[in-house]
Copies of this chain bind each other. A is one copy, B any other.
Amino acid sequence: MTIVEFDTIERLLRDEDLAGVTSVLSTMSVAEILAAMRRLRSNRQALLYRLLDKDVAMAVFERLAPAVQTELVAGLRDEELVSLVEDLDPDDRVLLFDELPAQVADRLLHGLSPQERRLTTPMLGYPQGSTGRRMSPEYVRVKPTMTVAETLDRVRRVGSDVETVYTLMVTDEVRHLVGVVALDDVVLASESTPIGEIYRETASVTAISNAEDAARLCADLRAIALPVVDSEQRLIGILSIDDALTILEDAESEDAARAGGAEPLRRPYLSTPIHRLVRARTVWLLVLAVSAMLTVGVLERFEATLGEAVVLALFIPLLTGIGGNTGSQAASTLTRALAVADVRPADIGRVVMREAQVGLTMGAVLGALGWCIATPIYGVDIGNIIALTLLSVCTIAAVVGGAMPLLAKTLRVDPAVFSTPFISTFCDATGLLIYFTIASAILGLGSGS
């Protein structure tokens, strides 16, 4: 979509020239319409959505954020809503139900055709965040004894109703997962070949596994579909790469937001109302402000020292800044390493050893540099204080920053939550304590109160 096209749509919507909008929309692809929707305020999103052709509307709806879906749904007549929900894929339907008031979701569930209700109800039984809620119960299942010709027949018969035909699930008579067979291998084999000769073994996930971990596995294996099984290895669904990518994108948006100290926005930036932007950030900032009070407490303890040597105040932002940055460097490195499974929580010993070495080295470099800059201007005492403080602060910050994400993961808290802002505050308070302790010792001053 060109910027011109979007500006045209926005102008036509503002002028309420609905015929004009409809004619522009008819020339746009689903991706272009989605891009336009992402940039509109919510009342205009609803207006635009109502102007879409039914099939296009369905394709657009499936790709919208659940928060936006809920708003659009609120504007639909009851029969429109029932038919929309009936047409959704079961996994998208479950996600929408999670957003809707329980009563509405319940009414919609009972309004479904028996076939669609049979697919949806079991998924609603799995816990939020589990693979079972995000899987697709519609897939092609074949037996090892079937031939290639029989398999292609089945694909042709059920192919248009399932999530994907590129990966077919191979099971035994009691639905136990045996493996998968790729459609290209089926097409390349001769018609009489039994599936038992061309299938391969596969990784699988259980329905109660964490959906994000399952999605990561699916993407890492570059699998078009990953089988989802119950506790007895019986096949109950598939996680497609499409859905895996959606799960990972949401997880990455969440990580990025939390690393910056905000809750993730549940809808595109430009269509998020200001008060929601504020709310996403204020809660975090209040938590941080309260913990920043710690730094006031630490400094208060050393107020007398500060009074005797005001020059010490000059270096406060520099030292806390470097400490905070060292800590967040380590935290973001380890958060990412955990996310891509390069490191596991059990590696904490190795990580602490490595970060201690990294922190010491960096502290030595920065300390030497600080000494050389500070000594000629402020004297050798201040030079020594700066150098020793940098050495200690860098080491502690790197170790704590590196260890925190692993501890968070062990405690089943989001590692990104422990990242930048939390570590900065921790390093600020600790850094100040170290700074003034060293300064008091070297300058021979009283330690305050």
Contact = CB atoms under 8 A, between A and B. Distances in A.
Interface in A292-347: 292-293, 295-296, 299-300, 303, 306-307, 310-311, 313-318, 320-322, 324-326, 328-329, 331-337, 339-344, 346-347
Interface residues of A, number: 110
B306 A260 contact: no
Contacts of A332: 256-257, 259-262
A262 B329 contact: yes
A77 interface: no
A166 interface: yes
A419 B281 CA distance: 16
Interface stretch (A114-122, A231-239, A350-358): A350-358
Given A289-B369, A421-B325, A313 B299 contact: yes
A35 B341 contact: yes
Nearest to A315: B296
Nearest to A334: B269
A175 B425 CA distance: 60
A428 interface: yes
A17 interface: no
A289 B322 contact: yes
Given A188-B156, A242-B222, A274 B358 contact: yes
24 contacts: A3-B344, A29-B203, A31-B203, A160-B188, A222-B245, A256-B335, A257-B333, A259-B332, A260-B333, A260-B419, A270-B350, A274-B357, A275-B361, A278-B358, A284-B329, A285-B325, A286-B369, A289-B322, A289-B369, A300-B314, A306-B313, A310-B313, A317-B320, A320-B320
